[in-house]
Amino acid sequence: MDDLAYKTLEDYQRAKEQALTHPSQFWAEIATNFDWHRKWDTILEYDFHKPEVKWFLGGQLNITENCLDRHLKTQPNQTAIIFEPNDPDEVAQHFTYKELHSRVCRTANMLKAHGAKKGDRICIYMPMVPELAIAVLACARIGAIHSVVFAGFSAAALAARINDASCSMLLTADGGYRGSKVTPLKDIADKALKSCSTVRHSIVFKRTGLEVAWNPIDIWWHEAIKDVDDNCPAEVMDSEDPLFILYTSGSTGKPKGMVHSCGGYMVYTAYSFQNVFQYNKGDVYWCTADIGWITGHSYIVYGPLTVGATTLMFEGVPSYPEYDRFWEVCAKHKVNQFYTAPTAIRALQKHPVELVNKHDLSSLKVLGSVGEPINAEAWHWYDDHVGKNNCPIVDTWWQTETGGILITSLAGVTPQKPTYATLPMPGIQAVLLDNEGNELADENEGILAIKYPWPSIARTIWGDHERYKSVYFSAFPGYYFPGDGALRDADGNYRITGRVDDVVIVSGHNLGTAPIENALNEHPNVVESAVVGFPHDIKGNALHAFVIIRGTVEDANTLEAELRALVSKTIGPIAKPDYIQVVSGLPKTRSGKIMRRILRKLAAGEYDQLGDVSTLLNPEVVEEIKQNS
């Protein structure tokens, strides 16, 4: 797959040029690098107004044949996955491509034996163990649509996702290790399943030995897999068949099930992985994300395996047993490419640099960042202490919806610029728009938009194509609207400035404020609430909740604790507000819309930047909020 990578700036510029002049032909050439059962008839059909996007129509493939079978011919004994457990005293595991193929086929047969078939939705709620990656691939093997739910989500959030997609099966575990904690996953799943009538089987992987309750639909994974063999021909899929659903939060209460396709997603994740990280055969690549997020799907599992890479999966957290765990793992496995999030860098930066320096990081060649804008201080710390000023840093901008990285530098090939994601990948036509939707030229600041499809764009929101249209294609007709603001320098480099909608990125997690407000409003004493983000040293943003309550607060601490527990129970601990402020009113426009812009300034303590508040229905509450902050 080395052919996929541009190795010089000239190659890159040539590709950019080609992609601009013959965009669909450009992708067709890239797509010839993969194994297809049947070649496509039509490269691309699209209409952003409908909206509709279809790539490689008529083409047939199975992504797991590209991730696994193909490599059996050339590198069966190459390590595909290195598993590093939560506890450093537990031995790491190595799976060759041959072993991984065999495990995936057996697991696929296990799913089939329990009635799973092409098109079924299978929910996966598991810790970061090898079986999670294997389960994902096993679904893809048989054409079942996986829906991975991050193992930090609550029972209510899990149930909502299972029901939205009418999943017929759940794959889970007794528990999951994360640092010094054990999450009782089966217990949480049991609570969720009480309200999920479509799930017929729940297959439970034993990881922690935690005691669990047992229900008629439960089967132990190790028992279910006993009697199956490892011969499992891959289901032949159409390019446009759904490969998976992955939920992301939006500005209403309901999560959006983004649907990714088999063909386009495969082509784009492999192409971008190879180019961004400049992976060479035999390198050890480590992305610290969880497979519960898109980063894990695209850049732990599918992208790396499609190109035959060695991908490291880490079960634990950066702080356990000490704040040097990342560096210890890098040294232990001689990691070459390391991909993490700014929130992790900022957290580690607070600890003595000796924790970095005591480990031999000389194997590192490339560093990556993803999830939110990386501030200058974190960028330089990463560059100086981890990269020793000797590793290019790729700041990769993308989204659950985009499937793969869209704006980034290519390690060592294109110039980097601290705090800038830099340039769109060849084939990505990014633009800046003003509020009226006019394209802005040259050096400028505005709303980021993309004006031509790329192969891994999400095709729809599961069960709600209208919403897909209204969220991504209605604000600026003819463009894909990602919801981020950006500025562009004279050389065309983009710097992402943050969200322009009601989504807040907390510790790299994309959280809609509406679902958090809905959770708060469930408390019997809460009349109304508004949640906004404010800048936070480590988390990037933290949440400030303004709540109007019924009657008087007897005990503010109890109320706060109850509200946090409610959010934790409904969404998950990641969504708990840092501040909860009781207010008598919320600043509203004359049409009754909450002025979030003002609340954001108040939460950030930027009282001198509130702008004109006189047009508000109730300007007096602004003064009150200031006084009581």
Return all residues near 582 (Cβ < 8 A) that are at least 6 apart.
547, 548, 549, 553, 556, 559
Helices (H), 75-184: 97-113, 130-142, 155-164
In this complex, which beta carbon is closest to ligand WT7, that of residue 331 or of residue 500?
Answer: 500
The nearest distance, CB 460 to ligand WT7, in angstroms, is: 16
- Long-range CB contact pairs, 42-47, < 8 A, 24+: 44/453, 46/453
Calpha distance 80→101 (Å, rounded): 10
| Residue with smaller CB distance to ligand WT7, 79 or 248 | 248
Cβ atoms 424, 291 nearer than 8 A? no
Q: How many CA atoms lie within 13 A of 614 on its CB side?
A: 1
Binding stretches for ligand WT7 (CB under 6 A): 248, 294-295, 370-373, 395-400, 421, 482-484, 496, 499, 505, 510
CB of residue 242 to ligand WT7, shortest distance in Å: 18
- Shorter beta-carbon distance to ligand WT7: residue 239 or 369: 369
Question: Which pair of structure tokens corresponds to residue 462?
Answer: 């599961």
CB 552 → ligand WT7: shortest distance, Å? 39
Q: How far is the CB of 228 from ligand WT7 (least distance, A)?
A: 34
Per the DSSP assignment, residues forming a β-bridge with 53 are: 46
Q: How far is CA 594 from CA 337, 404, 589, in A?
A: 45, 34, 6
Q: Cβ of residue 465: shortest distance to ligand WT7, in angstroms?
A: 19
Q: Select 232 or 421, whichever has its Cβ closest to ligand WT7.
A: 421
Q: Which two tokens stand for residue 286?
A: 């480590």
Q: Count other Cβ atoms within 10 Å, centred on residue 607.
A: 12
C-beta closer to ligand WT7: residue 208 or 541: 541
Place of tokens 């007096």: 620
Distance in Å, CB of 475 to ligand WT7, minimum? 14
Among residues 310, 320, 315, which one has the least CA distance to residue 286? 310
Calpha distance 370→374 (Å, rounded): 8
Q: Which two tokens stand for residue 266?
A: 């495969």
Angle at 131 between CA 219 and CA 196, to 5 degrees: 45
**Between residues 58 and 418, which has the closer beta carbon with respect to ligand WT7?**
418
Rounded least distance, CB 483 to ligand WT7, Å:
6
- For ligand WT7, the closer of residues 43 and 421 by Cβ is 421
310 vs 400 by CB, closer to ligand WT7? 400
Least Å distance between CB 167 and ligand WT7?
Answer: 21
Q: How many CB atoms lie within 10 A of CB 41?
A: 9
| Smaller CB separation from ligand WT7, 6 or 397 | 397
- Least separation in angstroms between CB 182 and ligand WT7: 26
The pair phi, psi for residue 254, each rounded to 5°, is -90, 125
Buried b (16+ CB within 10 A) or exposed e, 393-405: bbbbbbbbbbbbb
